[in-house]
Chain A
């Protein structure tokens, strides 16, 4: 029996520097993310690894560490996969150039991976989900609904027309005086709050399409905070109530848009499968709402483990495995791309 392919994945497209080794038998042999390493805890998720030089500084060491954890040498690899976009161009170039250099030096194929495609395919690594499925990608920079019809075959059903949902969480946290990243802080405060106290807007909820909007919700939170400040002080209970009311509104928007998108999906065996990915997929309230939605609609809900929902290199390596198995190999002049929408018909990534 032939050995399953083994792929090294490299991710440097935004704040995270990461390296991982994944094989065709869906085994994650190593998965190293800089901000999650104990010795980098002081920076963990606080100072974004924005500068390309930060990626340069750490990437070689992370690759070495991933290869050592996997217990293999470069000769054992079937291919090298690196994020080629979309993202911050300096960071993308560091990872992609490193991947190209390794591919050239080891005589292995290079696979230039779309970061969004890697998020989209993660549920196939973790749960062996069959095509087609509906992907809800929710993160600090993205808020999209995609019909995932095959490797390289995506149809965008909806996207945000202004802020991404993770940004709405972060900005609400900022207004409430919580630390960055604010998503987990808002979720925690919301648990002790009254979600009915503030009637925040549910933007676009009546619209026929599957698009999102969160700027108006963020502004409504701002006005609620300012109004409380005018009346006196903002108490801990006020903050918890605002957090709960905000999260409920955001949840209603996500559920309504996702429900509409589910109606556009071809049902395989009578069931629509919904997959969630991206950093906001770590929010347990949203996971509960989506689980309930799927139960109501007769759908199946899949949420990969949280460390594989946030940015990581295992998903890049897995996308590499999928593409390698289809013979989708790139040449060493593959470009780094700041913008790279999954759906060619889409006007913005």
Chain B
């Protein structure tokens, strides 16, 4: 993909030494608990303005991943329903607001105009299922998460990090 170098990349600012950070990595998640741990680890380093996309077939666990992320960000298990029908559900928490989008039902990128993706990025974190529907309006700097079903419980997850995510992923223990 244009502007998305694979493999090692030099990052680091100011006095901290540059750390080689992969922009792209694949992990095996043997069960739902492993998925929950990864989602929680990402929630800990997520911040205002983040765009996180979730890609995968029906049943790959995109909404489950978003639920674990939102639970971890909140620190408690609020209801996190599927946003497929409503297109977006908003979780306004004291620490952060999370907008959970599901663009599955949309046909054209222009249909996303009124959903508030820009508002989400201005005031919180956007978790976006079926991000391909955004077409050219998808922000450049983002974390792409792709889930692939290996067996009933296990998933292969690929993380592809935009500029602002590379540092953060490099410092996470994702093994």
Contacts and interface: CB of A to CB of B under 8 A. Distances in A.
Whether A and B are associated in the same complex: the answer reads yes
Interface of A: 14, 47-48, 50-52, 86-91, 139-141, 159-164, 166-167, 170-171, 174-175, 215, 218-219, 222-223, 338-339, 346-348
Majority DSSP secondary structure for residues of B touching A? loop
Contact of A50 (B81, B90, B105): B105
A348 B81 contact: yes
A215 B80 CA distance: 12
A293 to B, nearest CB: 25
B105 A164 contact: no
Nearest to A223: B152
B107 interface: yes
B107 A215 contact: no
Interface of B: 57-59, 63-64, 67, 78-82, 84-90, 105-107, 110-111, 113-116, 152
Nearest to A90: B114
A91 B59 CA distance: 29
A348 B100 CA distance: 13
A89 B114 contact: yes
B105 to A, nearest CB: 6
5 contacts: A14-B85, A161-B81, A174-B58, A222-B58, A346-B79
B85 A162 contact: no
B59 A88 contact: no
Majority DSSP secondary structure for residues of A touching B? loop
Given A50-B87, A159-B79, A162-B80, 6 more contacts: A14-B86, A88-B88, A89-B114, A162-B82, A219-B152, A339-B90
Given A50-B105, A50-B111, A140 B90 contact: no
A141 B85 contact: yes
Given A161-B79, A162-B67, A164-B81, A87 B59 contact: no
A174 B106 CA distance: 15
A348 B79 contact: yes
Nearest to A218: B59
A174 B104 CA distance: 12
Contacts of A141: 85-86
A218 B113 contact: no
Contacts of B86: 14, 86-88, 141
Contacts of B58: 171, 174-175, 218, 222
B89 A167 contact: no
